[in-house]
Chains A and B, each alone.
Chain A
C-alpha cells in the first residue's frame, strides 16, 4: 500500500480564498483523522471519521472549516474563507482500529503546508 496520501503538499493562497485539502487513507482503515500543526499550539485534532461518518468535530475551529468523507477512500478538509491564522501544516492519518494495541497504530500522510497571505 502507498500509505496515506495527501494533496496538495504545499498551498499558498490569499486571504478570503477557498482552500481544499485532500486525503486518501490506507485501504481497509476504518478511521480517518485530520490534524493541524502550528508552532504555537503543536498538533491538534480537528475531526475524525469512523466508517465515513464524522464522530467528533469539536476540534474544528470555526464554521469556516468543514470536512467530508464521501467514501472510504477519500476525504476533504475545506476552509472557506481562509485567513492568515489558518496557516499551518494539516495532517491526515488513518488507523485500522485505534483502541486496540495490535491494530491501533496511526499512519500519517506527509502533510499539506498551507500559507494564507
Chain B
C-alpha cells in the first residue's frame, strides 16, 4: 500500500464546476505539499500546509492532521486548470517528500 494515496486518479470536469481532489497518507508528517504539473512537464508548488486551510485565488487546500487527510479544491474551474495535481508529504521536516501518484484533471470548455 502506498504511503500517499490520491483520488481520483483522473477527473474530467466542465468549465465552471467545483473540483475536489483528495489525498490520504499513512505516515506522520510535518507538512503536506500540493504541486501542479502542466502538460509541458514543469512542476509548480501550490501550497505547503501543516494545519487548517490555505487559500490562493480560486484554489483552497485543507488538511486534517488527525484524519491524515487533505483536500485541494478548485472553484469556478477553467480549462487552464487542466494539469496533474500531486500531493506530497514531508515526514521529517527536511523536504524529503513522499509523493502521491497524482490526479490528472481535464477541464472542458
Q: Chain A interface (Cβ within 8 Å of chain B)?
A: 31, 33, 42-45, 48, 50, 55-56, 89, 91, 93, 95, 98-99, 101, 104-108, 110-111, 113
How does the 8 Å CB contact mask read for B86-109 relative to A, with 1 for contact and 0 for none? 101010011111111110000000
Nearest 4 pairs of A and B residues by beta carbon: A98-B95, A99-B93, A108-B43, A43-B99
CA distance A111 to B43 in the complex (A): 9
For the complex, give the distance between the alpha carbons of A113 and B40 in Å.
Answer: 12
From A33, A42, A48, A107, give the contact of B45 (CB < 8 A): A107
Residues on A with C-beta less than 8 A from B30 are 99
Contact A106/B33 with A56-B94, A99-B90 known, Cβ cut-off 8 Å: yes
Residues of B near A98 (CB, < 8 A) are 31, 90, 93-95
Query: Would B99 and A105 count as touching, CB distance under 8 A?
Result: no
From B45, B88, B98, B100, contact of A105 by CB (8 A): B45
* Cross-chain contact B96 with A91 (CB below 8 angstroms): no
Contact of A105 with B48 in the complex, beta carbons under 8 Å: yes
Q: Who on chain B is nearest to A47 by CB?
A: B96
- Pair A42/B90 contact, Cβ less than 8 Å: no
Q: Does B65 contact A (CB under 8 A)?
A: no
Could you tell me which residues of chain B, from 4 to 22, have a CB within 8 Å of some CB in chain A? none
